[in-house]
Amino acid sequence: MDFSFTEEQEMTRQMVREFAEREIAPVVMEYDESQQFPWEIIRKLAELGLLGILISPDYGGSGMGYIDLAIIIEELSRVDPSIGLTVAAHNSLCCNHIYLYGTEKQKKNYLPLLASGKKLGAWALTEAEAGSDASAIRATAILRDGQWVLNGSKLFITNANVGEVAVVLAVTDKSKGAKGISAFILEKGMAGFRVGKKENKLGVRASDTAELIMEDCSIPQENLLGKEGEGFINALALLDGGRVGIAAFSVGIAQGVMELCLKYSKERVQFGKPIAKFQAIQWILADMATQIDAARLLTYRAAYLRQQEQRSTKEASMAKLYASEMAVRATEKAVQIFGGYGFTKDYPVEKFYRDVKIATIGEGTSEIQHLVIARQILE
């Protein structure tokens, strides 16, 4: 059994860590407060190949795997979860859907643009009435005169404003339920396709979340992505990868706050000594360190299985469930260790405390993860 990363993976981690500390850390609060999308940083990430992580060099990507993807998301989120989430959604959902299920023509059309970061990608499944019950989506696509006509609206879509390419799921045959859902590639500027309300969020405020609306949006027949009726099944498979991304996002956040707590507790003096000397604080730190390691091991096992093209539904859900719940606890404890200072925006744990909560909700709530895991073990 070998737990070590390859030399390339170590190099990738070091590169992303240095980039995040030097280029992102100084501007994190600025983007959070203004809710501006950090274009300048995203463009630099694009130059480094971080917007085409999984895509083969044949289509202009970096040709790396799921373990590398997890490393990158972990390291970005350790400094700024907003950027971690933007990169995760673009790579593991939008790009990967086209990469895994697209036709050769679709791949040649879209992947070089997405992988180079010339265009950002969004992925749209959730609707107002279809969150955890994802197969209950109502958006429709009807084939009329050789064109697909889409109607409906998608909620809480990451990169909805900034993304120029969107993979959208819609019902093509209502009678078939989940097997009557298909995926489509939409582009900004197509008639009848627009962005709705931008969400004003608790956390990850520098990531772009908005509604996508289709009103008699007519697209070429060839923009069907994957086989008709297989959109939802493909989406579930993609979410196994996506969940590893959210697990890595959670591990990164927890690691980030733990490092802040270690430093602070050695510096902060109360009752005549650094608070790290008190057992009450030591136990919190020891729990944090142990649970982060447990979550990290679950995350990289799931990434490894996925990389080996082995079934990883259960393991990805376990990693996502455990890591996200663990990270919520860790950030809460971090604010507690920082005390009054932790409650202010002058210290970075406040932002992590807000940012982390999306991890137990996005790409399947903790409740849905329980359901997935239970189904797998009772099979």
Partner 1 sequence: MKIIVCIKQVPDTEAKIKIAPDGRAIDDAEINYIINPYEEYAIEEGLRTKESLGEGEVILISVGPERASTALRSGLAMGADRAIHINDSLLDENDPLLVATILSKAIQQEGYNLILCGVQGVGTDHYQVGPILAELLGIPHVGVVTKLQISPDKAVAHREIEGVSEVIETPLPALFTAQKGLNEPRYPSLKGIMMAKKKPLTLLDCQHLGLSEEEVNKLKGKALIIKLELPPMRPKGLVVQGEPSETVKQLIEWLQKETGIL
Catalytic residues: 363
Given candidates 49, 203, 241, 252, which one binds partner 1 under the rule CB under 8 A?
A: 49
Instruction: Give the three-state DSSP class for 211.
Output: strand
**Which residues from 61-100 bind partner 1, rule CB under 8 A?**
62-64, 68
Distances 26 to 22, 41, 50, 343, 352 between C-alpha atoms, Å = 7, 12, 20, 20, 15
Using CA atoms, how far apart are residues 299 and 318, in angstroms rounded to an integer?
Answer: 8
| Residue among 362, 303, 357, 370 at smallest CA distance from 330 | 357
Least distance in Å: CB of 263 to partner 1? Answer: 12
Write the single-letter amino acid at 274.
Answer: P
Distances 75 to 20, 79, 174, 318 between C-alpha atoms, Å = 7, 7, 42, 21
Least distance in Å: CB of 18 to partner 1? Answer: 7
Question: Which segment (3-11, 98-106, 207-215, 255-263) binds partner 1 by CB under 8 A?
Answer: 3-11
Cβ proximity to partner 1: between 23 and 164 the closer is 23
Given candidates 28, 41, 50, 219, which one binds partner 1 under the rule CB under 8 A?
A: 50
Least distance in Å: CB of 208 to partner 1? Answer: 23
8 binds partner 1, rule: CB under 8 A: yes
Write the single-letter amino acid at 296.
Answer: R
Cβ proximity to partner 1: between 55 and 89 the closer is 55
Least distance in Å: CB of 47 to partner 1? Answer: 7
Going by their DSSP bridges, the two strands 120-124 and 163-171 should be labelled as parallel
Least distance in Å: CB of 272 to partner 1? Answer: 14
Neighbours of 262 (CB within 10 A): 15
48 binds partner 1, rule: CB under 8 A: yes
Retrieve residue 181's tokens. 């859902």
255 binds partner 1, rule: CB under 8 A: no
Contact predicate 266/276, CB 8 Å: yes
* DSSP code at position 50: T
Cβ proximity to partner 1: between 116 and 135 the closer is 116
57 binds partner 1, rule: CB under 8 A: yes
269 binds partner 1, rule: CB under 8 A: no
Contact predicate 165/129, CB 8 Å: no
59 binds partner 1, rule: CB under 8 A: no
Angle between helices 81-88 and 66-79 in degrees, nearest 10: 150
Cβ proximity to partner 1: between 12 and 291 the closer is 12
192 conformational bin, left if phi > 0, alpha if psi -120 to 50, beta if neither:
left
Residue found under tokens 């790009």: 95
Cβ proximity to partner 1: between 2 and 379 the closer is 2
346 binds partner 1, rule: CB under 8 A: no
Cβ proximity to partner 1: between 48 and 178 the closer is 48
15 binds partner 1, rule: CB under 8 A: yes
For the CA atoms of 342, 346, 352, 353, what is the dihedral angle to 10 degrees?
A: 40
53 binds partner 1, rule: CB under 8 A: yes
216 binds partner 1, rule: CB under 8 A: no
Least distance in Å: CB of 31 to partner 1? Answer: 20
Residue found under tokens 């969400």: 199
Cβ proximity to partner 1: between 44 and 201 the closer is 44
- Residues of this chain that bind partner 1 (CB under 8 A): 7-8, 10-12, 14-15, 18-19, 47-50, 53, 57, 62-64, 68
